Structure 1
């Protein structure tokens, strides 16, 4: 049972992760691989709305996806996008990235190899990782303008879609930790973290929502 305080703290982390960018036409839409096919859905929707002429999905597998996406996250994302009407001809697949930094670096390399000119990019992630993804992209590919995007839904709606409240809160806590520790390791740009967000993170850690923390930097 999730306490009222834990839910309020999770909501605060969720709200902080939202970048509030308005989607607009960009050179490419890059869907970041994960356990959540909703990223592919959101990317397909952006394509159909005319927001990008090229779609790139990036991601290998992780401990949460190796069973449900055995051919790799990017491959399964492509299949999902095709089911949703995105032409195969506009989709690029980057199948090797195993973290967000690699998602960005390997995507850049693939786009350069395919000679796709890029000045702006829609960065499509899970809703609770918009800020983390944006901070990483700005670090590894600062020359272009990034527009964050995700499926437009509430925390409650997202939990309903995943059907695992604890997993979602653990993921939120993990994303927040990385925002705070990765900049000093050179993995992403610094983000100002409000005091109430830091306190919400600390309370959730104290109550055991820690399965997605990076242990070696605790």
Structure 2
């Protein structure tokens, strides 16, 4: 049973992970690969709404997507976009990236090779990855304005869609930890975490929601 305090803390982390950006017209929309086809759907909606003339889908496979997306996350995203009526000429695929940093670096290389001038980009991700993806992009691609976007879902609806309460909370905790430790490792720009969010994160760690935490070189969970 998930306690009321745990749900409250998880909701606080969810709200922090969202950037609450208002989408506007950008040079390109970049869909970051994952298990969630909702990322592709959101990118298509932005394209249809005239928010970007070009879509880039980036991602190889991971242990969580290998069976579901055997041809690679970006390839499956592209197929989804074409099914939804996006013309092939409006989609580029970057099929090598295996983490968020590579998503950004390889997408940048792909667009530069294609001669696309990028001054702004819609960064489309899972909801709880908005802030981390944005901080990573600002570190690796300075000079570009990044606007974060994700499926417009409430926390409750997202939990219902995953059908695993504990897994969702574990993912929220893991994403928050990375916001705190990755800037010091040079992976992203610093994005300060408010004290009340840190306190919620620490309570969730003490409650055992730690399966998605990264560890240091000694195997110690970083908090």
TM-score, structure 1 length as denominator? 0.98
Q: Which residue number corresponds to residue 210 of structure 1? A: 210
Query: How many pairs align?
Result: 218
- After TM superposition, which residue ranges in structure 1, 4 or more long, deviate above 4 angstroms? none
1:62 and 1:123 map into 2 onto residues whose CA distance is: 20
Corresponding residue number in structure 1 for 2:127: 127
Q: Is 1:32 matched up with 2:32?
A: yes
Where does residue 139 of structure 2 map in the other structure? 139
In the alignment, structure 1 segments of 5+ residues that lack a partner are none
- Find the counterpart in structure 2 of residue 172 from structure 1: 172
Deviation at 1:60, TM superposition (A): 0.7
Residue 59 of structure 1 corresponds to: 59
Instruction: Return the alpha-carbon distance in structure 2 between the equivalents of residues 17 and 171 of structure 1.
Output: 11
User: How far apart in 2 are the matches of 1:38 and 1:204?
Assistant: 27
Equivalent residue, structure 1, for 2:182: 182
Q: CA RMSD in A?
A: 0.9
Shift of 1:86: 1.3
Aligned to 2:75: 75
Equivalence for 1:201: 201
For 1:78 and 1:165, the matched residues in 2 are separated by 29
Distance 1:33 1:40 in 2: 9
Give the secondary-structure state (helix, strand or coil) at the position aligned to 2:107: helix
